[in-house]
Structure 1
Amino acid sequence: MTQLRDFGTHWADVSLRTKITIVTVFILFLGLIVAGVGTFSVLRPILINQQSAELAQIRNNPTNVFAPGTDPERLSADDVFTANPRYYVAFLAPDGSVLFDNSRDRRAATLPDVANYGISLKFAAAREGESVAPIEMSSADGTHWRGVTTLLYVDGVEHQASGTLLIADSTTTINQHVAQYIIVFTGFGIAVILLGAALTRILITTTLLPLAEVEQTALEISRGDFSKRIIVASPHTEVGHLGDSLNVMLDRLDGSLEERERTIERMRRFVGDASHELRTPLVSVRGYAELYRMGALQTPEQVGQAMERIEKEAIRMTSLVEDLLALARLDERRPLQLAKLSLNQLARDAALDARAGAPDREISVVEAPSDPKAFGDENKIRQLITNLIGNAKQHTPEGSPIEIVVTALPQPIDDAAVAAVEQLPVAGSGKRSSGSAPMTGSTGVIRVDPKGMTRFEIVDHGEGIPEQIREKIFGRFWRADSSRNRETGGSGLGLAIVRSIVEAHRGTVTVHETPGGGATFRVDLPAAPRDPEPGADDAEQAPQPADS
């Protein structure tokens, strides 16, 4: 068991190329062994049977063994002496002793010991006329012989045998053929094994060459280069499938790392923003509390003034915290509750709310005749309009008018915008929208048809915004001038919330100059699809008749 365990440990440390080469060579070796043994087991019996057939033919007609012109029925000693040296030919007496043979200068140890096998006349007569196997004999040195016998008759006397003619053939030739076969087969087998090992090594090396590229790519990725990808030359191979799978995994890993970095950055920004903006009101609250504790506030008027300031700072801190939480939720890119929204109706509602909070202002709505429908989250869009109106009210003179202008944009948008709209997440559906797939929103089933954009504008008539800072005003806690300070300018998060909402809807928000003076905030949102043709949805949603 210990040896097997050690072997398994060593085998696990061997490279894949070496393992495949060893296994291939081992399979070739086993195949050659089986082929060699099988051929050997068949070859020798075939040669033996062939020799038996030749001996049987010689028994019936022994003239081929003797010199030409020899009469097998009147053999002489000279005829036997000059017989084919391949065979052992002997004339035996009736008792089985050798009278004369063709041994000549052959060594006696190599000749069959005929006397030990009792090949008498009676024995030969018993085998006459029968199809029997050759006689198996051996010599003193171990040489194996196989022979046949035939009777020789006395001249002029019918059916009277005078002796036995023995013709034997050695199996040495068969053994030589088998030995030659073994040598040739072994040589070719070794050549096949070496060639197979070389070809296997070359094939495995070339086939697994992309794995080296995978290894190199993985090494570069481990060093921090997450942009590296595996080049898949043959996508239909196993290595190609591995490369594709690794590329998909790397894309997802890269996306996860980027999302992690964005999350960390958002958290750092949130903490920084909160600490930066909450520091001043907290210092104020702490200062008034210390004054009260030290007895510096003597009169009820001083205490009331301090409590009023503490209350205002607390309200301001509450507003800051709520705005920061709103931005944090928008940064999380939570799924939107998408639905068809009438911009005319949203503009009217926003104007009514604004008039209720500022009765001295003229807040008007310029509606679009076609009543354009935006595709978005109703609560977020209402918050978007409210923030823009609040920004206009705060940074324009008292009584200055504000207009909400709704416009339909029928022109097609570019492919990039279409792709962006199609990626809008939809809450509850677990899917993303597409140009033809139904989406689940607050108004039921909606088919996204991003063929155009809708627009609304918040137009004020204040000082306006210089062109060089129009991109900066959407930053968090950014204030254009001294008029937008912590006391009168709000938290500095309203426009940042506007930008986050618009980006979540894959829209755009820009600032332009109002003719005659002022700022115009223009918001473009994806248009909702046109209403389906009459009867289309009814046909899709019509209940199916029950099976009878």
Structure 2
Amino acid sequence: MRPLVHRPPGSLRTRLILGVTVLATAAVLASQLIGFAVLRSWLLDRVDQQLADFHPPTRAYTDALRDDLPDARPGAGTLPSDFRVYFYDSEGRRLNLSMGTGKRAGPRLPDSADGLRLREARPASVPAADGDSNWRVVRYSGPDGMSAVVALPLDTVEGALSRLGWLNLGLLAVTVLGLIALGRWVVRLGLLPLTRMERTAEDITAGDLGLRLTDTDARTEIGRLGRVLNTMLDRLQRALREGEASEARMRRFVADAGHELRTPLTAIQGYAELALRPEARSEHERRQANRLIVHNAERMSLLVDDLQLLATLDKEPSYRREPVDLLSLAADAVSAAALHGTTHPVDLGPLRTEADPTGTDELELVETVGDPHRLRQILENLLSNARTHTPPGTAVHIRVGTGRQGRTGASTALPEGAPVAVVEVADEGPGLRPHDAAHVFERFYRADPSRSRAHGGSGLGLAIAATIAEGHDGRLELDTAPGHGCVFRLVLPNLPAEWRTDGAADS
């Protein structure tokens, strides 16, 4: 058994031309066959009508018998046109006398009427006695049990049909050749947008990722395909850019983490080696070295804890779900800040609105749903950031209320018109430049180019706060300008009505 060989299909252009040609050829051939059949039926109907209009007279039957007598002189009657008439006697024998003349051979008729197989007055076609022509014959009953067969030749009909057949064959050949030639041009013109798409795709594959397909008319199939492909290319390019940005952030993250860990590790190693030297050290020097070792170990431990917390929040964040009074959280944060010292005075007030920019309204109860411990951590990080990046004596204001959203955020904005609860931490420090404000929520980012720890922590506090806010379906926003301080705004969904009705929900 021969193995099956898979042959690849031809090009789309070839298949379209072949399909159109086959369909058009079939349509032309079908119309020609229908026309041929209609014309043949019409011509046969005319011959049949002529046969139906001619009936041999009674005298013809009598003359046929008389001429058939042994003593009679045989002869033939003369008929107009090409009619031929043949007689059968009462016993079914064909008589010698026939009416009609002509050079062509007559129809092939049997010698016995039993072999005619013709029904009364029903025309039928029989072959000629000699040659390839045919006759149309009809049988009529005569007197005294006799019968007659009237015949007309079909030479005219067959000649006309033969000429028509050759004409149709020529027209079919011309039509097929014309369809192939015209179909190639039409298909090439119709597939021109696909050809342009192919060339554009080749250029994109070569590396020009900014190219897009130009045929995007939504009214055509190719245009809709072009729009879909352009959308796919945009998404792929955006995914590539995001992948490159993510890879760059990862490299920067690893470098920053290594930089942050190297500093305390180097300090610990240096002081440890110093403590192991055999030279005698004073008690004060040993205590100083031990204190620096503990300080750097604590610093490294805090950094590792922050990294572990970020990894946990990114992977599978787990938050409690219960009503949280943001006003109480803010008051606790103010109390805790007072315990850290008085270098940065912190006060609590209502949220300023456009209707009341001075903030003279009374404090209002503002509630949301979330994890109180994590939300308190956001406020602590924001306050720590304000103390770290502003000069001593700079005032810090915490404002609580319901209101607006800012300009720069760490995640996407909340739905338009949704009720929100807001906690602001505003300082009167030097503020940030627009470039720094756009990156302040990134991990390990510091506005200080020197990366000195004296001007900031590890650079993870705002990233942790933004991650927790996003996990509560909220966001962190920043309004700032050089010389005008910073306003960090925690925006959270307001407490839903069902929580107000039912009290608390299971965490």
Question: Which of 459, 468, 473 pairs up with 1:493?
Answer: 459
Mean Cα deviation higher: 352-361 or 172-181: 352-361
**Cα contact 1:502–1:508 (8 A) shared by 2:** no
Give the Cα–Cα distance (whole angstroms) in 1 for the partners of residues 308 and 215 of structure 2. Answer: 46
2:399 maps to 406
Deviation at 1:493, TM superposition (A): 1.6
Is 1:456 aligned with 2:454?
no
Deviation at 1:268, TM superposition (A): 0.8
TM-score by length of 1: 0.63
Give the Cα–Cα distance (whole angstroms) in 2 for the partners of residues 459 and 358 of structure 1. Answer: 16
1:390 maps to 384
Deviation at 1:314, TM superposition (A): 1.4
**In structure 1, what residue type is equivalent to 2:424?**
F
Question: Which of 263, 266, 278 pairs up with 1:283?
Answer: 266
1:57 maps to 53
- In the superposition, relative to structure 1, how do residues 194 and 135 fare at CA in structure 2: closer, same or farther (>3 Å)? closer
Give the Cα–Cα distance (whole angstroms) in 2 for the partners of residues 32 and 407 of structure 1. Answer: 84
Question: Which of 130, 134, 138 pairs up with 1:144?
Answer: 134
**Cα contact 1:85–1:102 (8 A) shared by 2:** no
Give the Cα–Cα distance (whole angstroms) in 2 for the partners of residues 247 and 408 of structure 1. Answer: 45
**Cα contact 1:381–1:501 (8 A) shared by 2:** no
Q: Secondary structure at the match of 2:269?
A: helix
Give the Cα–Cα distance (whole angstroms) in 2 for the partners of residues 256 and 185 of structure 1. Answer: 62
1:270 maps to 253
Is 1:173 aligned with 2:171?
no
2:61 maps to none
- In the superposition, relative to structure 1, how do residues 201 and 275 fare at CA in structure 2: closer, same or farther (>3 Å)? same
**In structure 1, what residue type is equivalent to 2:364?**
D
Is 1:521 aligned with 2:486?
yes
**Cα contact 1:366–1:403 (8 A) shared by 2:** no
- In the superposition, relative to structure 1, how do residues 282 and 81 fare at CA in structure 2: closer, same or farther (>3 Å)? same
- In the superposition, relative to structure 1, how do residues 495 and 80 fare at CA in structure 2: closer, same or farther (>3 Å)? same
Unaligned runs of 5+ in 2: 59-63, 68-72, 352-361, 503-507
- In the superposition, relative to structure 1, how do residues 509 and 285 fare at CA in structure 2: closer, same or farther (>3 Å)? same
- In the superposition, relative to structure 1, how do residues 457 and 211 fare at CA in structure 2: closer, same or farther (>3 Å)? same
Deviation at 1:172, TM superposition (A): 1.4
**Cα contact 1:91–1:101 (8 A) shared by 2:** no
Is 1:20 aligned with 2:16?
yes
- In the superposition, relative to structure 1, how do residues 494 and 301 fare at CA in structure 2: closer, same or farther (>3 Å)? same
Is 1:306 aligned with 2:289?
yes
- In the superposition, relative to structure 1, how do residues 341 and 449 fare at CA in structure 2: closer, same or farther (>3 Å)? same
**Cα contact 1:146–1:168 (8 A) shared by 2:** yes
Q: Secondary structure at the match of 1:387?
A: helix
**In structure 2, what residue type is equivalent to 1:268?**
R
Question: Which of 509, 517, 542 pairs up with 2:478?
Answer: 509
Give the Cα–Cα distance (whole angstroms) in 2 for the partners of residues 416 and 150 of structure 1. Answer: 109
- In the superposition, relative to structure 1, how do residues 348 and 288 fare at CA in structure 2: closer, same or farther (>3 Å)? same
Deviation at 1:455, TM superposition (A): 5.8
Deviation at 1:501, TM superposition (A): 5.8
2:7 maps to 9
2:505 maps to none
Q: Secondary structure at the match of 1:235?
A: coil
Give the Cα–Cα distance (whole angstroms) in 2 for the partners of residues 435 and 241 of structure 1. Answer: 32
- Listed one character per residue, the Cα deviations across residues 41-66 of structure 1 (whole Å, up to 9, x for unaligned) are 6765664454244234233479xxxx
- Aligned alpha-carbon RMSD (Å): 5.6
- In the superposition, relative to structure 1, how do residues 379 and 222 fare at CA in structure 2: closer, same or farther (>3 Å)? farther
Mean Cα deviation higher: 191-200 or 22-31: 191-200
Give the Cα–Cα distance (whole angstroms) in 2 for the partners of residues 468 and 135 of structure 1. Answer: 106
After TM superposition, the structure 1 = structure 2 runs for residues 146-295 of structure 1, keeping only pairs within 5 Å, are: 146=136, 168-190=151-173, 192-193=175-176, 204-205=187-188, 208-230=191-213, 233-235=216-218, 238-293=221-276, 295=278
Q: Secondary structure at the match of 1:9?
A: coil
Unaligned runs of 5+ in 1: 63-71, 153-157, 423-433, 437-447, 539-548
- Listed one character per residue, the Cα deviations across residues 397-421 of structure 1 (whole Å, up to 9, x for unaligned) are 87x47443416585x669999x942
**In structure 1, what residue type is equivalent to 2:413?**
V
2:354 maps to none
Deviation at 1:449, TM superposition (A): 3.1
Give the Cα–Cα distance (whole angstroms) in 1 for the partners of residues 57 and 419 of structure 2. Answer: 105
Aligned length: 469
Give the Cα–Cα distance (whole angstroms) in 1 for the partners of residues 265 and 407 of structure 2. Answer: 49
- Listed one character per residue, the Cα deviations across residues 440-459 of structure 1 (whole Å, up to 9, x for unaligned) are xxxxxxxx336xx8462444
- Listed one character per residue, the Cα deviations across residues 498-541 of structure 1 (whole Å, up to 9, x for unaligned) are 88569955543245689xxxx84322344755986999x79xxx
Q: Secondary structure at the match of 2:106?
A: coil
Mean Cα deviation higher: 280-289 or 242-251: 242-251
**Cα contact 2:82–2:152 (8 A) shared by 1:** yes
- Listed one character per residue, the Cα deviations across residues 224-250 of structure 1 (whole Å, up to 9, x for unaligned) are 444545456443654455445444544
Deviation at 1:19, TM superposition (A): 1.3
**In structure 2, what residue type is equivalent to 1:390?**
S
Q: Secondary structure at the match of 1:421?
A: coil
1:371 maps to 364
Deviation at 1:300, TM superposition (A): 6.2
**Cα contact 1:384–1:497 (8 A) shared by 2:** no
* Percent of aligned pairs sharing the same letter: 24
Deviation at 1:352, TM superposition (A): 1.5
**Cα contact 1:361–1:401 (8 A) shared by 2:** yes
Deviation at 1:478, TM superposition (A): 3.7
- In the superposition, relative to structure 1, how do residues 197 and 503 fare at CA in structure 2: closer, same or farther (>3 Å)? farther
- In the superposition, relative to structure 1, how do residues 302 and 26 fare at CA in structure 2: closer, same or farther (>3 Å)? same
- In the superposition, relative to structure 1, how do residues 215 and 479 fare at CA in structure 2: closer, same or farther (>3 Å)? closer
- In the superposition, relative to structure 1, how do residues 335 and 61 fare at CA in structure 2: closer, same or farther (>3 Å)? farther
**Cα contact 1:59–1:149 (8 A) shared by 2:** no
Q: Secondary structure at the match of 2:247?
A: helix
Deviation at 1:171, TM superposition (A): 2.0
